Structure 1
Amino acid sequence: MKKIVYTLSYLTLVLFLTGCSDFLEEDNKSNATAEDFYITAEGYQSLLNANYAQLRELYGNSPWLYACGTDLYAEGRDREPLGLSRYTNLNPSSEGVGALYDTAFKAIQTANTAVYYYDLTETTDVLDQQLGEVRFLRANAYFLLVQTYGGVPLITEYFREPVLSFDRAEAEAIYDFIITELEAALPAVSTGAYQGKVTQRAVNHLLAKVYLTRGYESFGAATDFETAASYADAAIAGQSLDLSFEELWSPDYAINSETLFSVQYDAASVSTDPFSLGHMQTAYFGPYQGGSEIAGDAPYRTYTLCPTQFAIDLFEEDDERYSTTFMTEVYARYFDFYDVDDTSTLPVAHYYAPAWEATQADKDAYIVEHPEATYHDYGTYVPSANPTNDYQTIPMKKFDDPEAPFGQNTSRRDIILSRLGETYLIAAEAHLQAGQPGTGLNFINEVRERAGVDDVTLGEFDIDYILDERGRELMGEYHRWFDLKRTGKLVERASAYHYLVEEGNFDGANGELKILRPIPQSALDLNQNNEFEQNPAYQ
């Protein structure tokens, strides 16, 4: 049966690439074989849905490879994966190293299946659009891989027979493939507003980021930054940043007008198993405060990826993003912040004083007004100052889901992958690097105007300022490691602002720095191509 051949072939690929025996079963509503089912409109739609479902595996679990070991986040009471967080003893078998490799290749093989059946399934009015969406998703998975590991196997086939040996493509070839995929997807996908499926603006946004990232590489084209700027301009499409930052992150579970692409969740799809089918983004970026055992009075948090002092210090008093990003005043019941209209008389459990309220007079005044509160002085509520106790780091509320059960994997909010504020910052960086700083300045100042802070001047506008602004605007949004790696600032910034990272931690084998992550040992062990090389820093 073709269904059996498909399953065995797919499993063989997954076993080689990941060492994992689980795989996604597409929603086959009958006993039909894959050959019969996927050649129908209903079957092909099911296969497309399976491709979108892979996003939940890519982004819905522990976000170590996206965020830890950077300048913005550090571990508090609980330990992050040591190699990824501190770069000491980072090796091909380190905890968390293989997670993205595993899930990205599973997503790629699911996409390859859809590309294969495109030529076999019945023709519909939306078939070309569906293929465009699949090509975008496949390109996105490869973009994650090439940024993280460098060159990887370039696999575009749907396998019918077991394949046990793969070559490693150069990173340059992976970028070429990503760009080809996205440029092919662009005219095919929807031109309408984002409603959960890939649109042209989402493709333009990702193309801008791919060209921007390649522009820093030794093999990048001289025109990459200029091209990135043009794609960012196309993704922006003249739209202003009209929502306030608070409106942008209000937990109302609806797609807002500035979202270009996201990982979709909904209450119905999570309700059958709410403690495993939701995602974990809300569980990070703050201290443990109780979770499910205190009947929903507070969200579960891991006490990892807590904001560093540098992250706190990025904000100034008038920046509206600070109060939206962090829960500066925690009520006796945490979620009363969302559930009670008038909070003025509620008892305060914890208060985290900002830098602009750091005087003794400020403290005395607050304590008089809230004698019941535990007052955390500015500078004392980050991991480097007090990493051991509950509530001793400031919680990030940006991703709070007040209606979710309070375990680790329970949030039903979308995970935002691309939004208009970031597109503006991509445009700012691309124009700066293309030698058009004046134009780039206009984009970054649009972001700052929405935040309520003064414009940056041309004399201040450089790559470090852009990274600081990305920190303020995109705190916690799974971009930071890629930002620092792209701009060549990972070693400098992580060693300067992460209290557990020293510059020497990045020293690897052969005089190489541990910038790229190692190819997972499980993948190397299962590959029968003995010439498949590890990244130089780990040889």
Structure 2
Amino acid sequence: MRNTHIKAVVGAALLTFFSSGCKDILDEQPRSIYEPSYFATAKGVNGGLTSMYAHLRYIYGQAYYYNTTLTGTDEVTYGKDADQNFKDMDLSGVGQITSESSRSDAIWAPTFYNINTASGIIENATAVGISDALIAEARFFRAFDYFLLVQTFGGVPLDLGAGELKFNISPSRYSVRNTVPEVYTKAIFPDLLKAINDLPQVGRVTGGATKNVARLYLAKAYLTYGWWLENPNNIPTYPETPRTDPDGHNAQWYYQQAYDVAVAGIDNPGPFGLQPTYYDVNLAQNDRNKEIMLYADHTENSEFYNAGSLTYGSGGAPDNFASWMMTWNYTDIRSATTANWGTVVSSVQREAAQALGRPWTRMSPTIGAITNTFSEKAVDSRYDGTFTTVYRGNWPKGGAKETVLYNANGLPVAPGDAILTFLNEEPATAIDYSNTVYKSNVGAGVLPGRADFVISPRGISRVVYPGLWKLGPYRTDNAGGLGQPNAASTRPFNIAKFSEFYFIAAEAAVKGANAQAGKSARDLINVIRARAGRWRWDNNGNKARVEDNSAALTAATPATITINYILAERSREYFGEGYRWYDLVRTQKWNELASSYQICGPNKGDHTPITVQRTIEPRHYLRPIPIAQLNAMKMPEAEKKAYQNPGYN
């Protein structure tokens, strides 16, 4: 990715689009740049509105930004093939976060381009006859971007060169950062309140901004700001400012607002709602379902509308290539053509299928995520609906002629059979990892009577681990073959889910908000847990499983809900989706929950867990301002130094 700085041009980074009115989908046409005069027309305003959605592709699905949201948390560490981008984020002694290495540039440039575009729409739309509902879409996205920025960097500039929240049309290479309270109270809250008032219940386009999407972000912003005001662990802010609210409210007031707005979202769902099972939320064939409120969209039907190749992934935005990062190189798996383990062939081929995809091995789940976070695997469907734990034979799709291969214990396997399984629990019988007879070239072991090689939960390593099924690719144009596994995913990258209303309200209730009858923190969490207990399909077993464990799961919910319990539930629900760093930073639990982790080593056959320590300092709760931004500004060096977050100069 190239680094860019705030410019006084209008448009989305690298590529912008315009639409011709309200349709079921966005009619995108590329423009290289928007001139200021373009917003003096209805066509120009509509074009700017469509670019609001297009800019999401430059952030969500961009794997290096994705890395910054997960690596270094209790969910994820770096994988065997990680470059320094990933090692730096781990804070475990193999690198350090700097303004050069942090991939915070992946949000800095696209958001500020989009913020200025939004301001251009807001200032010009009324004069050219654009409705309040359309203007509200721009307000939503301006608030959305500022909320992302303030969570990541602390205070950021509201003035891009023409005044606070003004459309800037003149080149400016000078910048002053506003404080965190100013960003929330001048930009985020007013824009979202206006958006809720003016947006429709049902979006004008599929996946478009709606009243409830704005409610979700207002509730989350209130919650996040409440934590910021309370500051329970004395984490520093920047620019330095007292932890007081300009409007005179305290943290408790904001927790109550977060609860009330989130409950209003639950009670007034509009076209949104929970899916009946967790499996249905992330099943590729069910993409764009009613639980998904906002996403960065892609398509397999057109490279033009996909904004990326359909045959080969570039490894850069706007491709959706995040799913590659936590995909290990399962294509190394070999099975034999004869029972005495003679000639070996690749039994699991690289395929554009949700359980497989393109391997990069840049990130891996921690052992604790597998064993502790997902400790209720037998009844809670979320582990099965998150990971690929069974790798099945697909060798005929790659051209191999054998109808049968031989695998663990010299037993035969057919296409579709399990070749390698990551076990849900530690087995009663010790796994034989010696590979003296039936040689697993990926270091997996054998259990008596099983034809599949196996690895236990405490045996996962930086090189071999369960894949992230929920983000895996899906194509309908594979024609029975392997398809285009080297292309980026053509699935949408999900950004906001209806389920988060329940978590936000529950967290606010734990922080002291007065809860409504039937909507206590435990009640709200149990709605999510009840759904997690309902199965219709065993994903890794590849068979129907109609089973309801909701009573068992809700009964097991603690009588008193704590923040740590909510964070554990959030990890079960949203593992690997890019929420975790923000959750741990908001609640100031990062060091408590992620200061150490366990993982086995970087070699195939490593199955001895190693405890790794992290050094998470208070300064790390903010990311550094990208070096390209600082280099591009024409300011005295002392001012540039003061512009950077402390500890990153």
- Greater RCO, CA 8 A, separation 6+: 1
CA contact (8 A) 2:13 2:113 kept: no
| Higher normalized helix content (fraction of residues) | 1
Q: Distance in 2 between matches of 1:479 and 1:185?
A: 24
Q: 1:413 to 1:455 in 2, by over 3 A?
A: farther
| Structure 1 residue 409 displacement after superposition | 5.6
Aligned equivalent of 1:75 = 78
Structure 2 residue matching 1:303: 3-state secondary structure: coil
CA contact (8 A) 1:97 1:518 kept: yes
User: After superposition, what is the alpha-carbon deviation per residue over 1:418-460, rounded to whole angstroms, capped at 9, x for unaligned?
Assistant: 1122221111111111255771110001111111123454545
Moved more, 106-115 or 295-304: 295-304
Aligned equivalent of 2:437 = none
Match of 1:273 among 285, 309, 319: 309
Match of 1:349 among 407, 412, 419: 419
CA contact (8 A) 1:441 1:456 kept: no
The normalised TM-score by structure 1 is: 0.84
| Structure 1 residue 66 displacement after superposition | 1.7
- Rg (Cα) greater in structure: 2
User: After superposition, what is the alpha-carbon deviation per residue over 1:143-183, rounded to whole angstroms, capped at 9, x for unaligned?
Assistant: 11111110111132222221111111111111112111111
Structure 1 residue matching 2:586: 3-state secondary structure: helix
Match of 1:159 among 142, 147, 168: 168
Alignment of 1:207-356 (within 5 A): 207-218=218-229, 219=243, 221=250, 222-237=252-267, 241-252=274-285, 254-267=287-300, 268=302, 269-270=305-306, 273-274=309-310, 275-276=313-314, 278-290=319-331, 294=350, 296=352, 298-313=356-371, 314-315=373-374, 316=376, 317-333=378-394, 346-355=416-425
CA contact (8 A) 1:215 1:225 kept: yes
Moved more, 417-426 or 203-212: 417-426
Q: Distance in 2 between matches of 1:151 and 1:498?
A: 35
Structure 2 residue matching 1:403: 3-state secondary structure: coil
Q: 1:481 to 1:273 in 2, by over 3 A?
A: same
Aligned residue identity for 1:348: A
Aligned residue identity for 1:208: A
Of all paired residues, the percent bearing the same amino acid is 25
| Structure 1 residue 102 displacement after superposition | 2.1
Aligned residue identity for 2:368: F
Q: Distance in 1 between matches of 2:34 and 2:8?
A: 23
Aligned residue identity for 2:586: R
Aligned residue identity for 2:225: R
Q: Root-mean-square deviation (CA), in Å?
A: 3.5
Q: Distance in 2 between matches of 1:32 and 1:398?
A: 35
Alignment of 1:397-408 (within 5 A): 397-403=469-475, 406=484
Q: Is 1:185 aligned to 2:260, yes or no?
A: no
CA contact (8 A) 1:70 1:498 kept: no
| Structure 1 residue 60 displacement after superposition | 2.5
Aligned equivalent of 1:527 = 633
Aligned residue identity for 2:74: D
Q: Is 1:502 aligned to 2:613, yes or no?
A: yes
Aligned equivalent of 1:378 = 457
Q: Distance in 1 between matches of 2:166 and 2:224?
A: 26
Aligned residue identity for 1:241: L
The normalised TM-score by structure 2 is: 0.71
Q: Distance in 2 between matches of 1:334 and 1:175?
A: 54
Structure 2: where are the runs of 5+ without partners? Answer: 19-28, 160-164, 230-242, 333-347, 398-412, 434-445, 477-482, 534-552, 600-610
Match of 2:527 among 446, 466, 481: 446
Structure 1 residue matching 2:521: 3-state secondary structure: helix
CA contact (8 A) 1:287 1:393 kept: yes
Q: Is 1:175 aligned to 2:187, yes or no?
A: no
Q: Distance in 1 between matches of 2:592 and 2:492?
A: 32
Q: Is 1:65 aligned to 2:79, yes or no?
A: no
Q: 1:224 to 1:108 in 2, by over 3 A?
A: same
Aligned residue identity for 2:55: Q
Aligned residue identity for 1:47: G
| Structure 1 residue 518 displacement after superposition | 1.3
Aligned equivalent of 2:441 = none
CA contact (8 A) 1:263 1:417 kept: yes
Structure 1: where are the runs of 5+ without partners? Answer: 1-10, 337-342
Q: Distance in 2 between matches of 1:334 and 1:204?
A: 48
Aligned residue identity for 2:583: D
CA contact (8 A) 1:300 1:407 kept: yes
Aligned residue identity for 2:462: P
CA contact (8 A) 1:326 1:394 kept: yes
Q: Is 1:92 aligned to 2:99, yes or no?
A: yes
Structure 1 residue matching 2:420: 3-state secondary structure: strand
Q: 1:345 to 1:519 in 2, by over 3 A?
A: closer
